[in-house]
Amino acid sequence: MIKKIILFIFNVIIGLLLMSIITTVIYKFINPPFTPVMIIRVFEGMFEGKFIGIDKSWRSYDEISKNIFRAVISAEDARFMSHNGIDWKAIDQAKRYNEIHKGKKKRGASTITMQTAKNAFLWHGRNYIRKGLEAYFTVLIEAIWGKKRILEVYVNIVELGEGVYGVEAAANKYFNKSAKNLTKREAALLASVLPNPRIWSPDKPTKYLESRVSFIQGRMNSVAIPKDK
């Protein structure tokens, strides 16, 4: 009986691993139709007594202003092009910061690859199981997708407001234009709200957001991005 249970668990684990690899390979070529986060937000709205739709419009890498790629890298992951998905240097820096500033808001070290893995395949949360799965999918998409596809998926599924996903939907909502025509400031405004897109709004920047926008714009010219071809 115990052997059967162990065999069953082993088969389930192997099946899940194969499914995760197959799904990751599929998403290298086919755009994710929706994400777990999108579905969760809809149900959260239902429990709160309000309807939260899913506003999204996929755009390919070359249909999006390069300003937005530079902005999100500047805001979220300056070493995006040089690390392997997990920025160990940033992790060490965050660990030292949190040890020195105990009792204050903890600093994270989540890369764009890690955020893409979380947004595309998982749910938001801080438990060890989810973090472990996030690390697994991070390694997987770095190996299978590459930097350009990771960045393309990230900017198309990232949450940028209540029910708003991806830079095309956000550009339309906040600036009445396509993501292809975003200026540096508009791109920086979108990137500035990423820590908390359900509270902050790109078209109504607070003083804090304006300081983030200035910081992001100051970095944008110096960060590298994947080439079109």
Residue 66 CB partners (closer than 8 Å, separation 6+): 225
% of the chain surpassing 70 pLDDT: 92
Instruction: Give pLDDT tens digits for 16-30.
Output: 889 999 999 999 999
pLDDT value at residue 85? 87
Mean local confidence (pLDDT), 32-43: 92
> Does residue 94 register a pLDDT over 70?
no
Mean local confidence (pLDDT), 32-58: 89
pTM: 0.90
- Cα 186 from Cα 174, distance rounded (Å): 9
Instruction: Give pLDDT tens digits for 71-82.
Output: 999 999 999 999
Q: Coil, strand or helix: which one is 55?
A: strand
- Give CA 22 to chain center in angstroms: 21
Residue 187 CB partners (closer than 8 Å, separation 6+): 65, 67, 68, 70, 71, 220
Beta bridge partners of 102: none
> Does residue 13 register a pLDDT over 60?
yes
pLDDT band at 52 (very low <50, low <70, confident <90, very high): confident
Instruction: Characterise 163 by phi-psi region: left (phi > 0), alpha (psi -120 to 50), beta (else).
Output: left
pLDDT band at 59 (very low <50, low <70, confident <90, very high): very high
- Cα 156 from Cα 27, distance rounded (Å): 13
Instruction: Give pLDDT tens digits for 150-204.
Output: 999 999 999 999 999 999 999 999 999 999 999 999 999 999 999 889 899 999 8
